[in-house]
Structure 1
Amino acid sequence: MTVDSGFVRHPGSTDAPRGPRTLLRGAAVVTLDNELGDFEQADILIDGDTISMVAPKLEVHDARVVDATDMIAIPGFVDTHRHTWQSAMRHGYAEMNPLQYFADVLQGIGAAYTPEDVHIGTLLGAASALNAGTTTLVDWSHIQNSPEHSDAAISALVESGIRAVFAHGWPLTTDDRWTKDSALPHPTDIERLNKQYFAGDNPLLTLAMAARGPEMTLPTVWRADLELARALGIRTSVHVGAYPHNAVHHAVDQYGRAGLLGADMTFVHCCGCTDAELAMIAAAGASVSLGVHCEMNSQGIGDIPLDRLLSIGLRPSLSGDTETKCTGDMFTQMRLLYAYYRSWRGGGHSTVSTPPDLMLRDVLEFATIEGARAAGLDHCVGTITPGKQADLVLIRATDVNLAPVLDPVAAVVLSAHEGNVDSVLVAGDFVKANGHPVRLDHHAVIRKAKISQKRVLGHPVNR
């Protein structure tokens, strides 16, 4: 990426253009806006935090110009479910029985987390998400051990510069009082947080509830929790149908029979949900989040229900889930999902009589506009559309694993990776430029994460 109009980048500099107007010049633009269409080569004009115009060869004389020739411009990815606080414990549970993850991480280790551990884990996860082109992150934060833990998580999200939906969960303890037939209501601290952090004018922060739902609580509790979320005017995200011991609760059916299903709900995983339950989700206008890599890597969780979703018109969003046993970047989720579906369908495993076709563009939409819809943010992100926020990713089309690019969508979904991401913008600000972070010192973040990792796991970092 090179920048004109008075902006000089010295060798090795990671500075990015700043100012009220920025013109991205000459990129191959995948807008994902069905009315606007895509462009083999076009310019994107950004006014402040907003996309102003998208067209070939814009004549603009009062903007800083970024030469985006040989770049693929796409909307920023939207991750709809990541336990970001766990990032310092990366990859430690991939080979273990998934039930050991629940016992170790969500009880013993999680219960011992300090606010400082939450802050650095969340900051590390958000930093790596941005580096890989994820500009909006639903931080599914079930580590609300104290109000200070919540404050620490929110502080890290703000520090990172990511567009964040903070999904407020529950405390982690060494027993199962919060997660097995629990009579404990959702922590009321969510009301304080709503007033303190989310009632202002920060467009990058949104509040949601990470709910326990019928699989974990008594009916009086999950009903009251959902009513609390709706009273606060926030969305609700809940795990359902992951592993047989959860699927037997038929959580979606319970919500449906109670008349509480709504478009403000996102259901995560849904592997063990019945066809009738998926139909209920679709009828309610609710959304589904698939954590593809973790679902494929978690033995016993159940089959990814993509064929059943698509057959009833339910288009899912994607998530990085937990980096304790998978990778969080959206390139991996897209690539694995496409390959999984092709193999699943081609091998005759589907229970759907005629499984729908899955196109590469569909998968890219799952990672962008469908994620924006699931986060309740499709009015402002998810496509490169004038009037929406300038959350954008520039991918180098000249890199040897992509060039020569025949189809930008195919290149992004099938072959692109984090290393191809040249620049990332959130609300018009560069958080990554010329392949380097602009806002954060990644080395400093990693040093702190190593200290946290050693403390929470109770052994040397390099075991």
Structure 2
Amino acid sequence: MKRIKNNSITNSSDSQILIKGATIISMDDAVGNFVKGDILITDSKIEAIGHNLEAEGATIINATGMIAIPGLIDAHRHAWQGSLRRLMPNVENLTDYVSDIHFAFARHYRPKDMYTGTLLNMISCIDSGVTTVIDASHNARTAAHSEFSIDALEDSGIRALYAPGKPLAGDWENHWPEDLERLQKERFQSKDQLVQLAMFSQPDRDNWSVARKLNLPIITEMLGAEMSALLPSFQKEGLLGPDNIFNHVTGLTDEAWQIISESGVKVIIDPRSDAQYALEEGVFPYDRAIQNGLKPAIGTDLESAYGGDMFTEMRVAFSLQRAFGQNRRYNGDKSSLHHMSVKDILESATINGAIVAGLGDKTGSLKPGKEADIVLLRTDDINIYPALNAIGAVVHAADRSNVDTVMVGGRILKSAGKLLGIDQEQLKTLVDESIGYLFEAEGYQPNIFAEEYIPSAKNDGFWTAI
């Protein structure tokens, strides 16, 4: 299969880019914000932020009327499912999702399908201002499946933490987690690479031991009373620490939250998927995280039901948090929820995500010395004009149509509202072929006007097989 590599031009070490006249939201208290400021980029890094910066010979980006923000960070995404977008928009629970994705289509995935779904997903991320993704790739059926997933991440030009995991159903090579050591030696030799390695695993002492031997972050979907009950023994055995990243964290007990906080575990909340897939309480636990002294990141999870842009995720998180608070007050509960501000939610979508991914020294905020992961948003577009509050405009009004420029490590991947360096028609051809193959392999007859989700009868009773 011919790879589709992003051939946009990389900013070379002897050249500079100067962003002029932007409204800068740095997400760094020491740097501060600028009503109108400049950002100087040398090679892949931010060299300076300030007023009236000059750099002879630099490429100038006129950002007048634009807001500059750090690239958005999606801290929880299963990118391999990119080709199955909105296949089940009305799915109501986790059982039906797992049945019809993992116990059906996932079993037929070839390495090239992993590549196609992941690349489509990542290019879409870049298009909507996401510059970093934690990719929980839980369909690593063979070593080649992992290789092709990594190829897709690299070819897109995005920054990513790649976390392969064991498939939930069907035949596979049983090469994981041992193959992580090979991947680390062959594909992840430098901490300066845009794509870094992690492990995706449910609570498992042996798996976690392999990850720690290799010094890899461990990503786990942690939710519910049953999983909460595991944490006291894990804490007692010294198995919890800052290298643990817990997704969802809904339905956890008070004791579990205390252990997470004491152990330095990092958490990711998922405003839409907890409700869509009826996970435990169905409520994303932003407030529980804040009450326990944690700084949660935000993830979209997957696109088999809904869209995957972070602007929507931020708005859903803000609105739901406010709704929870008002509902409690209306029903006589005098305990107050954390008063979420637009700055809080943008932190969860930027610097908090970077810290969770172990990339806080590289990205998540605009600061001299950090990598130039920058997004410019047009504020003269009619849906956002006038931008009377910059952070409010980003969180409450902006969408992918306002994303003018996207830069990852000093490399411009989107400019003047257009993706650069990627053959979109070639990508669509790959997607069409992959979908056709998967539908035929599963014997699936799509209904593009389906009003109600109906699970596949042939997969009934799968849950007991997990």
TM-score between both structures, scaled by the size of structure 1: 0.89
Deviation string, structure 1 residues 51-94 (Cα, Å, up to 9, x no partner): 00000111221311110111100000111110000010011122
> Is residue 2:315 matched to residue 1:319?
no
Structure 1 match to 2:433: 451
Q: CA separation in 2, counterparts of 1:91 and 1:270?
A: 24
Query: 1:254 Cα deviation (Å)?
Result: 4.2
Which of 123, 129, 140 pairs up with 2:125? 129
Structure 2 match to 1:148: 144
Q: CA separation in 2, counterparts of 1:171 and 1:144?
A: 6
Query: 1:203 Cα deviation (Å)?
Result: 2.1
Q: CA separation in 2, counterparts of 1:119 and 1:352?
A: 51
Go from structure 1 to structure 2 and tell me whether the alpha carbon gap of 1:392 and 1:31 turns closer, same or farther (over 3 Å shift): same
Structure 2 match to 1:239: 221
Query: 1:170 Cα deviation (Å)?
Result: 1.2
Structure 2 match to 1:372: 354
Q: Which of 281-290 and 336-345 deviates more?
A: 281-290
CA contact (8 A) 2:11 2:43 kept: no
Q: CA separation in 2, counterparts of 1:124 and 1:442?
A: 9
Structure 1 match to 2:380: 398
CA contact (8 A) 1:307 1:352 kept: no
Which of 246, 271, 276 pairs up with 2:250? 271
Query: 1:406 Cα deviation (Å)?
Result: 0.8
SS at match of 1:292: coil
> Is residue 2:61 matched to residue 1:61?
no
> Is residue 2:82 matched to residue 1:102?
no
SS at match of 1:123: helix
Deviation string, structure 1 residues 144-174 (Cα, Å, up to 9, x no partner): 1000100000000000000011012113433
Deviation string, structure 1 residues 178-227 (Cα, Å, up to 9, x no partner): 9xxxxx895211111111111136520210000121xxxxxxxx112112
Q: CA separation in 2, counterparts of 1:264 and 1:117?
A: 30
Structure 2 match to 1:297: 276
Query: 1:17 Cα deviation (Å)?
Result: 8.6
For structure 2, list consecutive stretches of 5 or more residues without a partner in the other structure. Answer: 1-6, 449-466
Q: CA separation in 2, counterparts of 1:42 and 1:236?
A: 39
Deviation string, structure 1 residues 389-445 (Cα, Å, up to 9, x no partner): 000000001111111111110000011111110110000000111111112122321
Structure 2 match to 1:84: 79
Q: Give the aligned residue type for 1:66.
A: I
Structure 2 match to 1:11: none
Q: Give the aligned residue type for 2:187.
A: Y
Q: Give the aligned residue type for 2:328.
A: G
Structure 1 match to 2:184: 194
Q: Percent identity?
A: 33
Q: Give the aligned residue type for 1:50.
A: K
Structure 2 match to 1:210: 200
Structure 2 match to 1:115: 111
SS at match of 1:348: helix
Structure 2 match to 1:9: none
Structure 2 match to 1:170: 166
Which of 334, 339, 364 pairs up with 2:314? 334
Aligned pairs for 1:381-392 (under 5 A) are 381-392=363-374
Deviation string, structure 1 residues 317-370 (Cα, Å, up to 9, x no partner): 011101001221111111000000000011108989332211110100000000
Structure 1 match to 2:461: none
Which of 70, 74, 77 pairs up with 2:69? 74
SS at match of 2:305: coil
The root-mean-square deviation of aligned C-alpha atoms, in Å, is: 2.2
CA contact (8 A) 1:124 1:445 kept: yes
SS at match of 2:272: helix
Q: CA separation in 1, counterparts of 2:258 and 2:143?
A: 38
Q: CA separation in 1, counterparts of 2:212 and 2:392?
A: 40
Q: Which of 19-28 and 113-122 deviates more?
A: 19-28
Q: CA separation in 1, counterparts of 2:416 and 2:10?
A: 11
Q: CA separation in 2, counterparts of 1:293 and 1:345?
A: 18
Query: 1:296 Cα deviation (Å)?
Result: 2.5
Q: Which of 99-108 and 45-54 deviates more?
A: 99-108
Q: CA separation in 1, counterparts of 2:366 and 2:127?
A: 19
Go from structure 1 to structure 2 and tell me whether the alpha carbon gap of 1:142 and 1:352 turns closer, same or farther (over 3 Å shift): farther
> Is residue 2:240 matched to residue 1:261?
yes
SS at match of 1:260: coil
For structure 1, list consecutive stretches of 5 or more residues without a partner in the other structure. Answer: 1-13, 179-183, 214-221
SS at match of 1:309: helix
Structure 1 match to 2:464: none
Query: 1:33 Cα deviation (Å)?
Result: 0.5
TM-score between both structures, scaled by the size of structure 2: 0.88
Deviation string, structure 1 residues 246-283 (Cα, Å, up to 9, x no partner): 74563434422332110111100011111221121122
Q: CA separation in 2, counterparts of 1:200 and 1:308?
A: 36
CA contact (8 A) 2:270 2:284 kept: no
Q: Which of 184-193 and 20-29 deviates more?
A: 184-193
CA contact (8 A) 2:228 2:252 kept: no
Query: 1:373 Cα deviation (Å)?
Result: 0.5
CA contact (8 A) 1:167 1:210 kept: yes
Q: CA separation in 2, counterparts of 1:315 and 1:280?
A: 15
Go from structure 1 to structure 2 and tell me whether the alpha carbon gap of 1:252 and 1:408 turns closer, same or farther (over 3 Å shift): farther
CA contact (8 A) 2:10 2:410 kept: no
Aligned pairs for 1:220-235 (under 5 A) are 222-235=204-217
SS at match of 1:165: strand
Q: Give the aligned residue type for 1:114.
A: R
Structure 2 match to 1:218: none
CA contact (8 A) 2:228 2:256 kept: no
CA contact (8 A) 2:328 2:334 kept: no
Q: CA separation in 2, counterparts of 1:426 and 1:381?
A: 9
Go from structure 1 to structure 2 and tell me whether the alpha carbon gap of 1:104 and 1:462 turns closer, same or farther (over 3 Å shift): closer
